[in-house]
Amino acid sequence: MPGHNGPVSVPTTGPGRRSRPRPTWAELPDSVRDGVERALGARVVSAQSAPLGLTPGLASRIELDDGRRAFLKAAGVHRGADTVAKLRREAQVMDALPPGALAPRLLGVYDDGRWAAVACTDVGGRPPASPWTRPELDRVLAALSACVVATTPSPLPGPRFVADWADDLTSWRRLARDPSAPAALRAVLPADLDWVPRDLDRLARLEAGWSVRADGDTLLHGDLRADNILLTDEQVWFVDWPSACVGAPWLDLLFLLPGAAVTPGAVDPEDVVRTHPLTRDVAPETITATVAAIAGFLLTVSLEPPPWYAPEVRLFQRAEAAAALRWLARRR
């Protein structure tokens, strides 16, 4: 845990790197492997685990005996009922997404009540460079604009972003009521953010305005970050859709920017929101309130115990929070 006189440490492995290997195709129960192959109409002849991702289940590129390639995710309830529920939700979302969403195509689903698996087209590609470069960010943001056009109006009725995130985006208000919060924040924030523990009441008031303009009719990705984006020479792909929700079309962009700005000088989020079509006409006070709410969420979640399979994610979230807070300080 970094001290308050030093910078926030940014893990070199990025937001989705793992310290523990995933389960492999061979480790799945025979019944699950058989069910997946029936759903795909072909046998799996090879499988290679993906290195990125913040879920504990299987995630593998597979090759089928009919020559097709697919990307398979699978988990059982022993890994957590929430993980299985997310796979079921992702299948529902992917089945509804139009082609313009720039998402892989759903190929097959297996669900026996205890195990769930989702297979989609293997689009290939790589995550954006770390640190981000502005040319790659511009590619992603242009693709995001096209995705917003394709998913507006939303092909699914919900959940609504303002309801789904209602609790997560109240972090400053919770911290302002906690007498121990200032000391806890001073222990983890760098020196240039020493104003934050003294300003909790003001941040709580500012955060409260995030929901005023957050409703909308766009199906949002809901978890847009570098390890959920793949780049090929020709295409940008948005992957991993279990958190999809319906809201204002600019929300995914604001959630993406703190991660793009964790390395000082790599990306200027203020320049992006000032010029990008999704945000340039949004009321400044709405942007400011939402950035405040995102910063509070990232900072609070970074203080939670890390998941056993990806312990560095909390350090990365703390670095994202610091980037969002520096951006917020400029806006204020």
Name the domain boundary from 121, 151, 178.
121
| Residue 205 and residue 111 in one domain | no
Predicted confidence at residue 6, as pLDDT, reads: 42
Regarding predicted confidence, which is higher, 51 or 1? 51
Cα–Cα distance, 232 to 195 (Å, whole number): 42
| Residue 117 and residue 230 in one domain | no
- Does residue 164 carry a pLDDT above 90? yes
The position carrying tokens 């910063």 is 295
Query: Is-contact 301 307, C-beta < 8 A?
Result: no
CA dist 72 to 68, 104, 122, 143, 304, Å? 12, 11, 9, 24, 29
Tokens of 289: 């309130």
| Residue 306 and residue 188 in one domain | yes
The answer to whether position 198 is within a domain reads yes
- Does residue 19 carry a pLDDT above 80? no
Q: What does the pLDDT look like over 285-305, one tens digit per residue?
A: 999 999 999 999 999 999 999
Query: What are the beta bridge partners of residue 116?
Result: 75, 111
The answer to whether position 4 is within a domain reads no
- Does residue 51 carry a pLDDT above 50? yes
Picking from 310, 275, 318, the residue whose alpha carbon sits closest to that of residue 53 is: 310
| Residue 139 and residue 112 in one domain | no
Q: What does the pLDDT look like over 235-284, one tens digit per residue?
A: 999 999 999 999 999 999 999 999 999 998 889 999 999 999 999 999 99
Give rounded-to-5 percent helix, strand, coil for the chain: 45, 15, 40
The amino acid that residue 44 corresponds to is V
List the domain range (segments joined by +) for residue 68.
25-51+53-121
Cα–Cα distance, 96 to 115 (Å, whole number): 22
| Residue 164 and residue 292 in one domain | yes
The answer to whether position 244 is within a domain reads yes
Tokens of 203: 């941040």
- Does residue 14 carry a pLDDT above 60? no
State the pLDDT confidence band at 37, using cuts at 50, 70 and 90: very high
Q: Average pLDDT of the chain?
A: 92
DSSP assignment letter at 112: -
Looking at the chain, how many residues does it have? Answer: 332
Q: What percent of the chain has pLDDT over 90?
A: 84
Least confident stretch, 15-19, 162-166, 234-238, 256-260: 15-19
Regarding predicted confidence, which is higher, 15 or 26? 26
| Residue 40 and residue 143 in one domain | no
Q: What is the CATH number of the domain that holds 170?
A: 3.90.1200.10
Q: What does the pLDDT look like over 96-145, one tens digit per residue?
A: 999 899 999 999 999 999 999 999 999 999 999 999 999 999 999 999 99
| Residue 37 and residue 72 in one domain | yes
The 3-state DSSP class for residue 127 equals coil
| Residue 177 and residue 156 in one domain | yes
| Residue 187 and residue 114 in one domain | no
Q: Is 177 exposed, middle or buried (0-12, 13-18, 19+ CB in 10 A)?
A: exposed
Name the domain boundary from 74, 95, 121.
121
Q: What is the CATH number of the domain that holds 80?
A: 3.30.200.20
The answer to whether position 301 is within a domain reads yes
The answer to whether position 112 is within a domain reads yes
List alpha helices for the chain, DSSP H: 30-40, 81-96, 134-150, 161-164, 171-176, 181-186, 200-207, 251-260, 269-275, 284-302, 313-331
Predicted confidence at residue 265, as pLDDT, reads: 84
| Residue 103 and residue 152 in one domain | no
Query: Is-contact 209 289, C-beta < 8 A?
Result: yes
The answer to whether position 79 is within a domain reads yes
Strand 58-64 relative to strand 106-111, pairing: unpaired
Cα–Cα distance, 218 to 154 (Å, whole number): 5
| Residue 186 and residue 40 in one domain | no
Query: Is-contact 154 216, C-beta < 8 A?
Result: no
How many structural domains compose the chain?
A: 2
Cα–Cα distance, 318 to 302 (Å, whole number): 5
The answer to whether position 18 is within a domain reads no
The answer to whether position 126 is within a domain reads no
- Does residue 314 carry a pLDDT above 70? yes
Name the domain boundary from 100, 121, 142.
121
| Residue 139 and residue 161 in one domain | yes
Picking from 178, 182, 166, 255, the residue whose alpha carbon sits closest to that of residue 215 is: 166
Q: What does the pLDDT look like over 189-234, one tens digit per residue?
A: 999 999 999 999 999 999 999 999 999 999 999 999 999 999 999 9
